[in-house]
A and B are shown apart, each in its own frame.
Chain A
């Protein structure tokens, strides 16, 4: 039995990660605006570490080295922008090296890894230095950094956020303590719009992810105010790494499903797990663990979905055949 497959040629020659890297310029600019050269220095160190790690990994593990797809650069830049501006550069480099050497290269490279390297690298740093990774500097404190309380931290305390605690404009412009490149929601929305122009399909994952988080935030608010549900929706979506992950991490093509519906379900699953980890987890942020769990849980889930869809199609076909044959039989009987 020959298997006929209609194949569309690849029209997009450019690497996905090259586009993502180009879009990452927007958050990087905001990081420089808020935190100065320290944030950009961290980005540069992480990108350099990613490139060197890929070269070393390809040499020692005999994997194909492909620096042209910009994946290692993207891993470095995205990881650095998710960290506080005063995070130790050596620790950041260790996280990027782990992402490339332990998660990406041993499985064969960019397209083979079953886990998102950025999420794995961030999880590694989170387990190694939890006190440093969630210690964000306060803006506009003059010389040096002073530890501030991020939105996600306030939400995790449960009763911290009251009416007029934080100005909404500050939240949207990123004038709140947080990781270097993830606080400015307006810029992240702009990045999503850019992504919609160059890689529209990838945004389906983001839509599922944000939708699931929004539903959870509406159903189970962690704030106490007059419009608790709406405030909760705003705070949850704008806090932590959620929006950044929705645009840059969940959309990773190597671990994303092919079909649009599956992409949406995959994103929604990651979003739901992320919110559950925020509610019940040890850390104030659980996006990276949620993405890793989605990576691990999705393949068997997709297998079941595909099997079910196939069965449905078969049943439909068989029923149509049965109806057609019975109609023919009836016609024959009437003719007789």
Chain B
């Protein structure tokens, strides 16, 4: 969502919920129906309808009624509301003889426990009024629906050669796309296209995406002639914003880009590509800063400001941000580990089976 609660407007809520923070392609939540179930257009349409209606009901109800309750109880209420909506719907569709209920399989009843609904209610609806919650639910529903319908259309067309059950090709061009594997491939490319779209046409919002995509690292780093000395912040050093700033300003430009990093696992690359604020998207940087400032105080603890976290300022708004992404605080784990082992040996805890 936008950086500050004051800036929230219905249009921004719509834009953010639909595109900038698309639940499936950007926040990577609610993948189960998108990957496993939306292998045909009709199922995707049904799931989209259910998700959107459920989101609107739950978010508006949560915003209007559930604010005083504790969070663990609210999550149970969302599930009960989902069941209250989906059970009659399934019954009606089943009685009417729609085969799409069978095609959706277990994923239609599972929508009662949809993670998108619970997350949006907890992250947004219980903190805002019912009006904005309605807009957010609508935007999130449209975002989810767009992805589900696109995925269902592409997968059905290429996987089965049909669109909504009507034959388009005489053969199935790529039958594997109807499998969950095909869902992941389609979603991956859709996410890449969305990222390109935001960078190209909505560049002013590209920094508001919940995570930054880092440049991939070479699996086998090239051997270079000389590696620069790598400064290390040891455990003894006090880690203050000023120290981080000093360390970063010295090393960010000159040293860190030149050091070929060791081989990272794919999971590491994926994890590193997501910043922590992906999971606390609603807490803006200023909110966090305000919280830290409230805790600090007195001569020993001066209030922390935004400038304490900036690396360098050259007048350009983008440059410090890009630089800050490259800042790494290496900690000498070997030294710490060696000290721990030394202490253990000195205290006699080290067993004889070390080797």
A residues in contact (CB < 8 Å) with B: 1-3, 5, 7-10, 61, 94, 102, 106-108, 111-114, 124, 127-129, 253-255, 258, 296, 299-300, 302-303, 310-312, 314-319, 322
Contact = CB atoms under 8 A, between A and B. Distances in A.
Contacts, number: 96
A319 B225 contact: no
A61 B192 CA distance: 9
Contacts of A8: 223
Nearest to A315: B354
Given A7-B226, A299-B263, A314-B337, A254 B219 contact: yes
Interface in B150-187: 173-176, 179, 181, 185
A107 B214 CA distance: 11
B266 A128 contact: no
A108 B215 contact: yes
B220 A1 contact: no
Nearest to A8: B223
Contact residues on B (Cβ < 8 Å of other chain), bracket? 35 or more
Nearest to A254: B219
Main SS at interface, chain B: loop
B220 A7 contact: no
Contact of B220 (A127, A254, A311, A312): A254
Given A3-B229, A7-B226, A299-B265, A127 B341 contact: no
Contacts of B181: 127
A5 B176 contact: no
A102 B181 CA distance: 12
B1 to A, nearest CB: 29
A317 B188 CA distance: 47
Most buried by A among B219, B225, B338: B219
Contact of A253 (B189, B220, B226): B220
Interface in B333-355: 334-335, 337-338, 341-342, 345, 350, 354-355
A1 B215 contact: no
16 contacts: A9-B223, A10-B222, A108-B218, A112-B218, A112-B219, A127-B179, A128-B174, A129-B175, A258-B220, A300-B265, A311-B337, A312-B355, A314-B341, A315-B350, A317-B338, A318-B338
B144 to A, nearest CB: 24
B345 A7 contact: no
Contact of A111 (B220, B229, B345): B220
Given A127-B181, A254-B219, A302-B263, A7 B338 contact: no
Interface in B45-90: none
Contact of A255 (B216, B219, B342): B219
A258 B181 CA distance: 30
B224 A7 contact: yes
Contact of A10 (B223, B227, B232): B223
B268 A299 contact: yes
Interface of B: 173-176, 179, 181, 185, 188-189, 192, 215-220, 222-227, 229-230, 232, 234, 263-269, 332, 334-335, 337-338, 341-342, 345, 350, 354-355
Contacts of B217: 112
Contacts of A254: 219-220
A310 B334 CA distance: 8
Most buried by A among B232, B268, B341: B341
Given A5-B227, A314-B338, A128 B192 contact: no
A291 B208 CA distance: 38
B237 to A, nearest CB: 12
B288 to A, nearest CB: 31
Nearest to A256: B220
B216 A108 contact: yes
B192 A114 contact: no
B317 to A, nearest CB: 24
A315 to B, nearest CB: 4
Given A114-B266, A314-B341, A9 B225 contact: yes
